[in-house]
């Protein structure tokens, strides 16, 4: 460990603001892109299922129409 105490570690030799700002923004940005990609995957899968149901519904409606005429 290069620092004598935890407080010195947080203080970063007087550069605390710049160092922690950089590391904070970096990992927040990486977290956002990772989480956004995962949520998009879930939404897309739901979209696929909804689309399938819609198609099935249209097919059924057509069949009914044909049967009634």
Partner 1 sequence: MWKWLHPYAKTERAYQLCLTLQPWFWAGALLCLSIGTVWGLAFAPQDYQQGDSFRIIYIHVPSAILSMGTYVAMAIAALVGMVWQWRTAYMSMIAMAPIGAVMTFIALFTGAAWGKPMWGAWWVWDARLTSELILLFLYMGVIALYGAFEDKQQAGKAAGVMALVGVVNIPIIHYSVEWWNTLHQGATISKFDNPSIAPEMLWPLLINLLGFAFFIGAVTTVRLRNEIVLREMHRPWVQTLAEQQLANSQQKRAASQKSMKEGN
Name the residues that contact partner 1, by CB under 8 A: 1-3, 9, 12-15, 18-19, 21-23, 25-26, 29-30, 33-34, 37-38, 40-42, 44-49, 51-52
Using the minimum distance from each CB to partner 1, give the nearer residue, 1 or 67: 1
Using the minimum distance from each CB to partner 1, give the nearer residue, 51 or 60: 51
Nearest-approach distance from CB 7 to partner 1, in angstroms: 13
Q: Six-digit token pair at 48?
A: 């696929």
CA distances from 21 to 17, 24, 30, 34, 65 (A): 6, 5, 14, 20, 64
Residue 10 near residue 16, CB atoms below 8 Å: yes
């Amino acid at each position: 460990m290069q620092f004598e105490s935890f407080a010195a570690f947080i203080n970063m030799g007087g550069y605390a603001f710049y160092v922690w700002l950089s590391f904070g923004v970096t990992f927040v940005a990486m977290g956002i892109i990772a989480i956004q990609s995962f949520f998009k995957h879930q939404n897309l899968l739901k979209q696929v299922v909804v689309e399938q149901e819609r198609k099935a519904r249209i097919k059924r409606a057509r069949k009914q129409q044909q049967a009634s005429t």
